[in-house]
């Protein structure tokens, strides 16, 4: 199997505005869903009279985000930037509704051209700068280039921060929505054209980071949102992979509303209000707030990185490639290693040909991962170049793709700090 035999997605092809005859379809798919969830969209007074073009920056927790964005922008339809796997089997449709294809966490200069074209068409550029669903309902890392991009494009910047989407459909278990209502969102004019001109890229970045501070579990508690879904803790071990009692990694399990360590048998119950209550065990660390547990894990990964001991080891993997939007290509089996140098993958296909992919640590500030991808392929990391995406599925139980995601960010931060170029808080 030769790489050159596969057609590559044409990332340079121009994308126009949403076709007029498809707009009613999008609204029909979006409005009833937001009404069902009782979604309240609060709009800033500064938005009065604002018309496209502008850049819409939204947080990202579930597919429902786009439905809320379509309602918030009515009667206009944004040109959303969408990852290539969203185009599988429906490239024509997505192009016709104005979606722009991108491979995650790659620096692709063609995106600037697409954004400029969208602005010239007097349309809205729909950006999800976190570039992935939030793993635990809190702000994911934002690219440091974002403020400079906004300044360079020079049109107003609008933010849309949604609340409750992670609680309703958490990324760690997307098999069933939880029927959360009401959800809410705030839409604000963050920066006008004149304000953009007067600020530096760093100043714009700070404003964006401040606007993107959210915590869905805190929002749930503050608003008394009850989730009666009986299996609400199932999948939580995907993000809470390390036991705070015994410190063992990759031994957490879940059943119903219970999260348990199979190594020391400590357990926690997830309440209807999204908090964790200890059921058994007597460890010194107690996390009632799920994001606090997640950040504790990040701190542990950070220590491993700074002490020079972090490594995934040599993990057996199976790899599927997505060179275009038609279908996945089964490449074969091999090994993955992730450490301070980055990702290294080597696989052998059915013809005996070896395929390798190396992603240097300094080239990527974050990592896209999937849990139980498409409900049948298991957890994976997806590694991107400008022309291909590899979905890499580790085998066995001695790993967590969440830890790889945290390590990717912490290694990147450490490299920048070592080069006396530390990242501002919230940026990479």
pTM of the entire structure? 0.95
SS (H, E, C) 111-125: HHHHHHHHHHCCCEE
Alpha carbon distance 81, 227 (integer Å): 32
pLDDT recorded at residue 5: 66
pLDDT recorded at residue 76: 98
Paired sense of beta strands 252-255 and 100-102, if any: unpaired
Give percent helix, percent strand, percent coil of the chain, each to the nearest 5.
30, 25, 45
Q: Which domains does the chain have, with CATH numbers?
A: 11-223 (3.40.1130.10), 237-304 (no CATH), 315-418 (2.30.29)
pLDDT recorded at residue 2: 56
User: Which helix (H) or strand (E) element contains residue 297?
Assistant: helix 290-306
Question: Are residues 237 and 170 in contact, defined by beta-carbon separation less than 8 angstroms?
Answer: no
pLDDT recorded at residue 422: 77
Helix, strand counts (H, E) of the chain:
11, 18
User: Looking at residue 335, what DSSP letter applies?
Assistant: E
Q: Which residue has the tokens 């869905």?
A: 216
Alpha carbon distance 57, 344 (integer Å): 33
Question: Are residues 158 and 56 in contact, defined by beta-carbon separation less than 8 angstroms?
Answer: yes
Structure tokens of 394? 């580790």
**Which parts of the chain register pLDDT below 50?**
none
pLDDT recorded at residue 1: 55
Could you give the dihedral angle defined by the CA atoms of residues 172, 177, 178 and 181, in that order, rounded to the nearest 10 degrees? 120
Alpha carbon distance 237, 234 (integer Å): 8
The overall average pLDDT reported for the chain is 95
Give Rg (Cα) of the chain. 22
Alpha carbon distance 127, 260 (integer Å): 37
pLDDT recorded at residue 421: 85
């Amino acid at each position: 199997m030769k790489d050159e035999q596969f057609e590559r997605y044409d990332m340079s092809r121009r994308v126009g505005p949403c076709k007029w005859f498809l707009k009613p379809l999008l609204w029909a798919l979006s409005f009833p869903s937001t009404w069902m969830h009782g979604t309240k969209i609060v709009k800033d007074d500064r938005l009065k009279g604002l018309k496209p073009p502008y850049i819409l920056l939204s947080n990202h927790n579930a597919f429902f985000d786009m439905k809320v964005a379509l309602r918030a922008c009515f009667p206009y339809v944004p040109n959303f930037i969408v990852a290539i796997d969203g185009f599988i089997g429906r490239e024509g449709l997505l192009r016709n509704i104005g979606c722009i294809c991108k491979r995650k966490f790659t620096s692709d200069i063609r995106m600037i051209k697409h954004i400029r074209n969208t602005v010239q068409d007097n349309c809205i550029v729909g950006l999800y700068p976190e570039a992935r669903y939030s793993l635990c309902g809190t702000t994911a890392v934002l690219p440091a280039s974002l403020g400079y991009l906004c300044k360079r494009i020079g049109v107003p910047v609008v933010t849309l921060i949604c609340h409750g989407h992670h609680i309703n459909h958490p990324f760690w278990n997307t098999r069933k929505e939880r029927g959360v209502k009401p959800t809410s969102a705030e839409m604000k004019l963050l920066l006008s054209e004149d304000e953009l001109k007067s600020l530096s890229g760093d100043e714009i970045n700070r404003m964006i980071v401040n606007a993107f501070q959210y915590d869905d579990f805190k929002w749930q508690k503050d608003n008394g949102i009850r989730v009666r879904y009986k299996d609400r803790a199932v999948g939580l071990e995907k993000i809470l992979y390390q036991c705070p009692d015994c410190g063992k990694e990759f031994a957490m399990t879940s059943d119903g509303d219970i999260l348990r360590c199979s190594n020391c048998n400590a357990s926690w119950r997830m309440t209807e209000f999204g908090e964790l209550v200890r059921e058994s065990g007597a460890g010194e660390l107690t996390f009632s707030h799920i994001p606090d547990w997640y950040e504790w894990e990040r701190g542990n990964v950070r220590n491993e990185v700074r002490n020079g001991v972090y490594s995934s080891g040599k993990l057996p993997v199976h790899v599927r490639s997505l060179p275009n939007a038609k279908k996945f290509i089964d490449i074969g089996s091999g090994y993955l290693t992730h450490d301070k140098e980055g990702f290294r993958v080597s696989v052998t296909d059915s013809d005996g040909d070896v395929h390798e992919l190396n992603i240097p640590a300094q080239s990527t500030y974050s990592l896209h991962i999937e849990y139980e991808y498409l409900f049948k392929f298991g957890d994976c990391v997806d590694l991107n170049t400008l022309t291909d995406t590899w979905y890499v599925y580790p085998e066995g139980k001695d790993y967590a793709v969440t830890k790889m995601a945290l390590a990717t960010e912490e290694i990147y931060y450490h490299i920048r700090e070592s080069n006396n170029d530390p990242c501002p808080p919230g940026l990479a």
